[in-house]
Amino acid sequence: MSERRAPGAGRLVAGAAPAGEGAIGDQQRHWVETFAANAEMYGPESSEPGRHAAGLFVAEGLSPVLELGAGQGRDTLELLRRGLEVHALDFAPDALAGIAALAGPGLAGRLRTTVHDVRLALPFAERSFDACYSHMLFTMALTTEELETLAGEVHRVLRPGGLCIYTVRHTGDAHYGAGRSLGDDRYENGGFAVHFFDRPLVERLAAGFELEDVTAFEEGGLPRRLWRVTMRRR
Ligand SMILES: C[S@@+](CC[C@H](N)C(=O)[O-])C[C@H]1O[C@@H](n2cnc3c(N)ncnc32)[C@H](O)[C@@H]1O
Protein backbone atom coordinates (compact mmCIF):
# COMPACT_ATOMS: atom_id res chain seq x y z
CA MET A 1 0.00 0.00 0.00
CA SER A 2 1.57 3.30 -1.03
CA GLU A 3 1.47 6.45 1.03
CA ARG A 4 0.80 9.81 -0.53
CA ARG A 5 -0.12 13.23 0.78
CA ALA A 6 -3.85 13.90 0.86
CA PRO A 7 -4.82 16.92 -1.20
CA GLY A 8 -5.86 19.73 1.11
CA ALA A 9 -5.41 17.60 4.20
CA GLY A 10 -1.73 18.07 5.06
CA ARG A 11 -1.58 14.45 6.25
CA LEU A 12 -0.34 11.23 4.80
CA VAL A 13 -3.05 9.09 3.26
CA ALA A 14 -2.33 5.43 2.71
CA GLY A 15 -3.15 4.34 -0.81
CA ALA A 16 -4.72 7.67 -1.77
CA ALA A 17 -4.69 8.86 -5.36
CA PRO A 18 -2.22 11.52 -6.47
CA ALA A 19 -3.27 15.01 -5.47
CA GLY A 20 -5.41 16.84 -8.01
CA GLU A 21 -6.15 13.74 -10.07
CA GLY A 22 -9.40 14.75 -11.76
CA ALA A 23 -12.84 14.39 -10.21
CA ILE A 24 -11.78 12.14 -7.32
CA GLY A 25 -8.84 14.31 -6.22
CA ASP A 26 -11.28 17.22 -6.06
CA GLN A 27 -13.82 15.06 -4.25
CA GLN A 28 -11.35 13.99 -1.57
CA ARG A 29 -10.48 17.61 -0.87
CA HIS A 30 -14.18 18.49 -0.83
CA TRP A 31 -15.05 15.77 1.68
CA VAL A 32 -12.12 16.57 3.97
CA GLU A 33 -13.11 20.26 4.01
CA THR A 34 -16.83 19.52 4.37
CA PHE A 35 -16.28 17.25 7.38
CA ALA A 36 -13.93 19.84 8.94
CA ALA A 37 -16.71 22.43 8.66
CA ASN A 38 -19.54 20.13 9.83
CA ALA A 39 -18.88 18.14 12.97
CA GLU A 40 -22.07 16.07 12.49
CA MET A 41 -22.76 16.30 8.78
CA TYR A 42 -25.54 13.67 8.81
CA GLY A 43 -26.58 14.19 12.43
CA PRO A 44 -25.76 12.20 15.56
CA GLU A 45 -28.17 9.32 14.98
CA SER A 46 -27.48 6.14 13.04
CA SER A 47 -29.23 5.77 9.67
CA GLU A 48 -32.14 3.45 8.87
CA PRO A 49 -29.96 1.22 6.63
CA GLY A 50 -27.28 1.21 9.33
CA ARG A 51 -29.72 -0.13 11.90
CA HIS A 52 -31.13 -2.61 9.39
CA ALA A 53 -27.67 -3.91 8.46
CA ALA A 54 -26.61 -4.17 12.10
CA GLY A 55 -29.71 -6.24 12.86
CA LEU A 56 -29.06 -8.64 9.98
CA PHE A 57 -25.36 -9.02 10.77
CA VAL A 58 -26.09 -9.74 14.45
CA ALA A 59 -28.88 -12.20 13.57
CA GLU A 60 -26.53 -14.14 11.28
CA GLY A 61 -23.45 -13.76 13.50
CA LEU A 62 -21.54 -11.93 10.75
CA SER A 63 -18.43 -10.27 12.17
CA PRO A 64 -15.98 -8.70 11.37
CA VAL A 65 -17.69 -6.10 9.20
CA LEU A 66 -15.91 -3.96 6.61
CA GLU A 67 -17.51 -0.51 6.33
CA LEU A 68 -16.67 1.39 3.15
CA GLY A 69 -17.02 5.20 3.19
CA ALA A 70 -17.66 5.35 6.94
CA GLY A 71 -17.47 9.17 7.00
CA GLN A 72 -17.96 10.52 10.54
CA GLY A 73 -19.15 7.14 11.73
CA ARG A 74 -22.83 7.48 12.58
CA ASP A 75 -23.33 3.85 11.44
CA THR A 76 -19.90 2.62 12.52
CA LEU A 77 -20.91 3.42 16.10
CA GLU A 78 -24.22 1.58 15.65
CA LEU A 79 -22.41 -1.53 14.39
CA LEU A 80 -19.98 -1.33 17.33
CA ARG A 81 -22.78 -0.82 19.86
CA ARG A 82 -24.39 -4.03 18.54
CA GLY A 83 -21.25 -5.95 19.49
CA LEU A 84 -19.73 -6.32 16.01
CA GLU A 85 -16.08 -5.92 15.06
CA VAL A 86 -15.80 -3.13 12.49
CA HIS A 87 -13.06 -2.09 10.09
CA ALA A 88 -13.99 1.41 8.91
CA LEU A 89 -12.44 2.72 5.69
CA ASP A 90 -12.60 6.18 4.12
CA PHE A 91 -10.33 8.60 2.24
CA ALA A 92 -11.02 11.40 4.79
CA PRO A 93 -8.44 10.88 7.59
CA ASP A 94 -9.81 13.32 10.16
CA ALA A 95 -13.30 11.82 9.93
CA LEU A 96 -11.90 8.37 10.71
CA ALA A 97 -9.88 9.76 13.62
CA GLY A 98 -13.09 11.31 14.91
CA ILE A 99 -14.84 7.92 14.93
CA ALA A 100 -12.12 6.44 17.11
CA ALA A 101 -12.50 9.38 19.52
CA LEU A 102 -16.30 9.00 19.61
CA ALA A 103 -16.06 5.25 20.16
CA GLY A 104 -14.11 5.82 23.35
CA PRO A 105 -12.48 3.04 25.34
CA GLY A 106 -15.72 1.05 25.58
CA LEU A 107 -16.07 0.39 21.84
CA ALA A 108 -12.67 1.23 20.35
CA GLY A 109 -11.34 -2.25 21.08
CA ARG A 110 -13.52 -3.64 18.29
CA LEU A 111 -12.77 -0.77 15.84
CA ARG A 112 -10.04 -0.58 13.23
CA THR A 113 -9.69 2.18 10.66
CA THR A 114 -7.89 2.51 7.34
CA VAL A 115 -7.49 5.63 5.21
CA HIS A 116 -7.82 4.45 1.63
CA ASP A 117 -9.20 5.38 -1.78
CA VAL A 118 -11.56 2.64 -2.97
CA ARG A 119 -10.40 3.07 -6.58
CA LEU A 120 -7.35 1.11 -5.47
CA ALA A 121 -7.38 -2.56 -4.49
CA LEU A 122 -8.69 -3.03 -0.95
CA PRO A 123 -5.72 -3.55 1.41
CA PHE A 124 -7.08 -6.78 2.92
CA ALA A 125 -6.53 -10.49 2.37
CA GLU A 126 -9.14 -12.51 0.53
CA ARG A 127 -12.01 -13.88 2.65
CA SER A 128 -11.13 -11.71 5.65
CA PHE A 129 -14.62 -10.29 6.41
CA ASP A 130 -18.05 -11.81 7.08
CA ALA A 131 -19.94 -8.71 5.96
CA CYS A 132 -19.55 -5.42 4.13
CA TYR A 133 -21.67 -2.33 4.80
CA SER A 134 -21.56 0.90 2.83
CA HIS A 135 -24.00 3.82 3.07
CA MET A 136 -23.61 6.14 0.03
CA LEU A 137 -20.01 5.29 -0.94
CA PHE A 138 -20.89 3.38 -4.12
CA THR A 139 -22.94 6.42 -5.19
CA MET A 140 -19.94 8.78 -5.15
CA ALA A 141 -17.94 10.01 -8.18
CA LEU A 142 -16.83 6.48 -9.16
CA THR A 143 -17.24 5.43 -12.81
CA THR A 144 -19.05 2.22 -13.74
CA GLU A 145 -15.69 0.57 -14.41
CA GLU A 146 -14.37 1.63 -10.98
CA LEU A 147 -17.58 0.35 -9.36
CA GLU A 148 -17.23 -3.03 -11.06
CA THR A 149 -13.65 -3.28 -9.80
CA LEU A 150 -14.79 -2.28 -6.29
CA ALA A 151 -17.59 -4.87 -6.27
CA GLY A 152 -15.01 -7.46 -7.33
CA GLU A 153 -12.78 -6.39 -4.46
CA VAL A 154 -15.66 -6.69 -1.99
CA HIS A 155 -16.30 -10.18 -3.37
CA ARG A 156 -12.61 -11.05 -2.89
CA VAL A 157 -12.41 -9.93 0.76
CA LEU A 158 -15.77 -11.46 1.81
CA ARG A 159 -16.11 -15.05 2.91
CA PRO A 160 -18.54 -17.26 0.94
CA GLY A 161 -22.04 -16.70 2.35
CA GLY A 162 -21.07 -13.21 3.56
CA LEU A 163 -23.44 -10.29 3.10
CA CYS A 164 -22.81 -6.99 1.35
CA ILE A 165 -25.33 -4.22 2.04
CA TYR A 166 -24.82 -0.93 0.21
CA THR A 167 -26.98 2.09 -0.53
CA VAL A 168 -27.03 4.33 -3.61
CA ARG A 169 -29.04 7.23 -4.95
CA HIS A 170 -30.97 6.18 -8.05
CA THR A 171 -32.29 7.69 -11.26
CA GLY A 172 -35.61 8.54 -9.55
CA ASP A 173 -33.78 11.06 -7.32
CA ALA A 174 -34.73 14.76 -7.72
CA HIS A 175 -31.07 15.64 -8.40
CA TYR A 176 -30.69 13.11 -11.23
CA GLY A 177 -29.79 15.07 -14.36
CA ALA A 178 -29.32 18.33 -12.42
CA GLY A 179 -25.99 20.18 -12.10
CA ARG A 180 -22.78 19.58 -14.02
CA SER A 181 -22.63 16.29 -15.91
CA LEU A 182 -19.47 14.24 -15.32
CA GLY A 183 -20.63 11.50 -17.72
CA ASP A 184 -21.67 7.94 -16.85
CA ASP A 185 -24.83 9.11 -14.96
CA ARG A 186 -22.69 11.20 -12.59
CA TYR A 187 -23.66 14.78 -11.75
CA GLU A 188 -22.03 17.38 -9.53
CA ASN A 189 -24.23 19.59 -7.38
CA GLY A 190 -22.87 22.04 -4.80
CA GLY A 191 -19.43 20.41 -5.09
CA PHE A 192 -20.73 16.87 -4.41
CA ALA A 193 -20.42 14.38 -7.28
CA VAL A 194 -23.03 11.61 -7.31
CA HIS A 195 -23.38 8.50 -9.49
CA PHE A 196 -27.10 7.82 -9.91
CA PHE A 197 -27.81 4.10 -10.27
CA ASP A 198 -30.27 2.34 -12.54
CA ARG A 199 -31.36 -1.26 -12.04
CA PRO A 200 -29.00 -2.74 -14.68
CA LEU A 201 -26.02 -1.26 -12.81
CA VAL A 202 -27.19 -2.90 -9.56
CA GLU A 203 -27.37 -6.20 -11.41
CA ARG A 204 -23.92 -5.76 -13.02
CA LEU A 205 -22.34 -5.19 -9.60
CA ALA A 206 -23.96 -8.38 -8.29
CA ALA A 207 -21.70 -10.63 -10.41
CA GLY A 208 -20.59 -13.49 -8.13
CA PHE A 209 -23.32 -12.61 -5.56
CA GLU A 210 -26.97 -13.56 -5.09
CA LEU A 211 -28.94 -10.32 -5.31
CA GLU A 212 -31.28 -10.85 -2.35
CA ASP A 213 -33.08 -7.53 -2.03
CA VAL A 214 -33.36 -4.00 -3.40
CA THR A 215 -35.46 -1.72 -1.17
CA ALA A 216 -36.27 1.92 -1.92
CA PHE A 217 -36.09 4.47 0.89
CA GLU A 218 -35.65 8.19 1.39
CA GLU A 219 -33.26 10.15 3.60
CA GLY A 220 -32.75 13.81 4.44
CA GLY A 221 -34.56 16.97 3.50
CA LEU A 222 -34.33 16.89 -0.33
CA PRO A 223 -35.17 14.01 0.14
CA ARG A 224 -32.42 11.81 -1.28
CA ARG A 225 -34.05 8.82 -3.00
CA LEU A 226 -32.01 5.69 -2.48
CA TRP A 227 -31.91 1.95 -2.85
CA ARG A 228 -30.64 -0.36 -0.14
CA VAL A 229 -29.07 -3.32 -1.95
CA THR A 230 -28.43 -6.64 -0.20
CA MET A 231 -26.33 -9.28 -1.92
CA ARG A 232 -24.75 -12.47 -0.64
CA ARG A 233 -21.39 -13.73 -1.81
CA ARG A 234 -21.58 -17.09 -3.53
C1 LIG B 1 -22.14 10.49 1.40
S2 LIG B 1 -20.80 10.25 2.51
C3 LIG B 1 -21.47 8.97 3.55
C4 LIG B 1 -20.74 8.82 4.87
C5 LIG B 1 -21.32 7.78 5.81
N6 LIG B 1 -21.40 6.47 5.19
C7 LIG B 1 -22.68 8.19 6.30
O8 LIG B 1 -23.69 7.75 5.73
O9 LIG B 1 -22.73 8.99 7.25
C10 LIG B 1 -19.63 9.38 1.47
C11 LIG B 1 -18.33 9.01 2.14
O12 LIG B 1 -17.51 8.33 1.18
C13 LIG B 1 -16.18 8.82 1.26
N14 LIG B 1 -15.59 8.61 -0.08
C15 LIG B 1 -15.99 9.15 -1.25
N16 LIG B 1 -15.23 8.71 -2.26
C17 LIG B 1 -14.32 7.86 -1.71
C18 LIG B 1 -13.24 7.08 -2.26
N19 LIG B 1 -12.95 7.10 -3.57
N20 LIG B 1 -12.53 6.30 -1.42
C21 LIG B 1 -12.81 6.27 -0.08
N22 LIG B 1 -13.80 7.00 0.49
C23 LIG B 1 -14.55 7.79 -0.32
C24 LIG B 1 -16.31 10.27 1.70
O25 LIG B 1 -15.15 10.75 2.34
C26 LIG B 1 -17.51 10.19 2.64
O27 LIG B 1 -17.09 9.90 3.95
Residue nearest to atom 13 of ligand 1 (CA): 69
Do the strands 86-90 and 3-5 form a parallel or antiparallel pair, or are they unpaired?
unpaired
For residue 34, name the pLDDT band (cuts at 50, 70, 90).
very high
Residue 216 has pLDDT above 60, yes or no: yes
Query: What does the longest C-alpha to C-alpha distance in the chain come to?
Result: 45
Residue 30 has pLDDT above 50, yes or no: yes
pLDDT in tens, 42-96: 988 999 999 999 999 999 999 999 999 999 999 999 999 999 999 999 999 999 9
Asked whether 74 lines ligand 1 (CB < 6 A), one says yes
Residue nearest to atom 14 of ligand 1 (CA): 69
Question: Which atom of ligand 1 is nearest the CA belonging to 50?
Answer: 8
| Domain residue limits, the chain | 47-233
Of 146, 119, 114, residue with least CA distance to 129: 114
pLDDT in tens, 100-123: 999 999 999 999 999 999 999 999
How far, in Å, from the CA of 55 to the mean position of ligand 1? 22
CB 30 within 8 Å of CB 192 = yes
Q: For a ligand 1 pocket test, name from 89, 91, 219 the mutation site with the most ligand atoms within 8 angstroms of its C-beta.
A: 91
Asked whether 140 lines ligand 1 (CB < 6 A), one says yes
Of 76, 91, 74, residue with least CA distance to 27: 91
Asked whether 32 lines ligand 1 (CB < 6 A), one says no
Of 214, 213, 210, residue with least CA distance to 198: 214
Domain 47-233 adopts which CATH fold? Answer: Rossmann fold (3.40.50)
Distance between CA atoms of residues 90 and 67, nearest Å: 9
* Region 180-192 average pLDDT: 95
H-helix segments, 134-225: 144-157, 199-205
Within its chain, how far is the Cα of 114 from the centroid? 13
Asked whether 15 lines ligand 1 (CB < 6 A), one says no
Query: Residue 150, class by beta-carbon neighbours within 10 Å (0-12 exposed, 13-18 middle, 19+ buried)?
Result: buried
For residue 162, name the pLDDT band (cuts at 50, 70, 90).
very high
Residue 17 has pLDDT above 80, yes or no: no
* Region 33-41 average pLDDT: 95
For residue 208, name the pLDDT band (cuts at 50, 70, 90).
very high
pLDDT given at position 25: 73
Q: For a ligand 1 pocket test, name from 24, 30, 40, 140 the mutation site with the most ligand atoms within 8 angstroms of its C-beta.
A: 140
pTM: 0.92
pLDDT in tens, 126-144: 999 999 999 999 999 999 9
CB 212 within 8 Å of CB 231 = yes
